[in-house]
Structures are given as structure tokens and as C-alpha cells.
Amino acid sequence: MPRQKRFLSEVKQGVVPQTLWHYEDVGHTQDAKRELLSLLAFKNSEDVFVTPKPSSLIKRILQIATDQDSIVLDSFAGSGTTAHAVLALNAEDSGRRRFILVEQENYADKMTAERVRRVIKGVKTSKDAHLKKGLGGSFSYFTLGQNMDEETLLQGGLPSYLDMARYVFFTTTGEKLDDSQVREKNQYLGQSSGYEVYMIYQPDIAYLKSTPLNLRFAMELPAWKTGMKKRLVIGPMKYLDEDRLDEYGIEFCQLPWGVYKYRAD
């Protein structure tokens, strides 16, 4: 039967490169499970994350994809292999790589974070000399509080002044609120690196519908001069124009719309 002959140049440009990584170099799943068992001392393999990746595999990827000052994000941290690999590579080449791990499953502390703790401090029973000594480094472990996005903010009622303060302070400044600075009576949240921050708020719908940033509020603020930190005022609404805001060194940010537009019905 006749057949058409096609040349490579007519089908695609060039040849797709192929790479083969042997398990002797980058490990495999069984190696990864044994590694995890040795680090966390689980009683049996059923307690271990089902499909961990070998830290040697992730380290190889990091060698190719990062430099010594990279920040490595793993949004599905699993057993914590990415952090392990980052710390191992830093110890090997004196790098300063940092990692951010995100995990929402209930093993985040007892497995993901605990693995990182042990890799840093060292595991005396480990057969790996580096892990026995510890790879060094440090990390911070955080858990999320109640979801406070606009769609779920009002579930269970309006948040307290302090809860709302923590939410809006971080949302507007990108910094964590120091609770000790908050003076609710003066509607003052404290200072960020760029602002003095105030919040006009009470967990009361009638208050939110009737209490704007107005001239009286601005005049009661401490005296302000050009060159001083601006005042960031967070509230349900404002009755001041831009000229008045500039005069008093104020920038206005509106509270999440769901709060002050809420209707009980």
C-alpha cells in the first residue's frame, strides 16, 4: 500500500530534549517513605504520608531552578519534603534559600512541621550523618484563624472590635497587629511602618450605618504636620473631601462592604 513519507522538518521544529533521572540519583517513593519513617519514628508505614517525594529529587530540582537567595513556595506541603530539601541544599552550598509551606490537612503540625523541626535539630537515630547532626536553620509555624473574607465575615454575627482590627490592620498594611497598642476608646489600632492606624467600628449595624469619618473625628486626632506619618482611618464611610483629608494627613480605607451594607432581613 502506498504511504506518505513525512520528514521531521515538516512536522515540528527541532527535537524535544529528553532527560532521564535514575532512582540511584534522585530516589524513589519507597526511599521517601523509609526516610520519613526514620525521621518521625512512626510505628508503621500506614502512619506515613501515602506518596512522599524523595528529598533528593526535590533537591535536584532546586539545584536547577533556584539560586542561593531564592524563596521556594510549596502550596501543598504534604510531608514537608520541600523544606527538607531546601535546608539540605543550603547546608551543602551555604545558600540562604527560604521556604514557605502551606498545608490545610490535620497532619500539618504532627507531620509536616514536625519533620522540619527534626531535620533542623537533628535525629540521633538517623543513619544519615547530616540528619543525625541536624541541617540547621529555623522556621515559624502559623495557623489560620476564622475565615474573615467578605462572604463569610458575618457568619455567627459581627466580629469583635479586636478581631476586626486584626483583620483590617493586616489587610491594609501587610503587617501583624500588636494587640497591646490598640485603644478601642480612641479608635486607635497602633502604628505600622507607614501609618498611624485608626478604625471606626463597633459590632453594631446601627452604629456602622450612622458613623462616618467626619470633620469632628479629624479635628480630634493629634495635631499633624507635613513630614509626619499619615493617619490611615478605616471606617464604614467618609464625609470629608480630598482637600480636608490632606489637611489632616488622613488616608481613608473603607471597611469590607458586607459589614456596613448588612441587612438583618
3-state secondary structure of 191: strand
Would you call 210 helix, strand, or coil by DSSP?
Answer: helix
Is-contact 146 99, C-beta < 8 A?
Answer: no
- 123 with 166, same domain? no
Number of domains in the chain: 2
Among candidate residues 80, 114, 133, the one where a domain is terminated: 133
98 plus 34 within the same structural domain: yes
Position 12 scores a pLDDT of 65
Domain boundary pick from 114, 133, 152: 133
Would you give the end-to-end CA distance of the chain in angstroms? 78
Element (DSSP H or E) covering residue 250: strand 250-254
* Cα angle: 105, vertex 51, 22; to 5 degrees: 145
Domain residues for 84?
Answer: 17-133
Same domain (yes/no): 129, 166 = no
> Domain end: 115, 133, 151, which one?
133
Position 123 in a domain: yes
Task: Give the confidence band of 155 by pLDDT, cuts at 50, 70, 90.
Answer: low
Q: Establish if 155 belongs to a structural domain.
A: no
| Same domain as 205, residue 123 | no
Q: Is the pLDDT confidence value at 45 over 70? A: no
Cell numbers describing residue 247: 489637611
pLDDT tens per residue, range 56-110: 999 999 999 999 999 999 999 999 999 999 999 999 999 999 999 999 988 899 8
pTM tops 0.75, yes or no: no
Please report which confidence band the pLDDT of residue 19 belongs to, taking 50, 70 and 90 as the band edges: confident
Q: Decide if 138 is inside a domain.
A: no
* The pLDDT of residue 257: 62
pLDDT at 264 over 50: no
Which stretch of DSSP H or E encloses residue 158?
Answer: none
Does any domain span residue 43? yes
State phi, psi for 44 to the nearest 5 degrees.
-150, 165
Residue 112: which region, alpha, beta or left (left: phi > 0; alpha: psi -120 to 50)? alpha
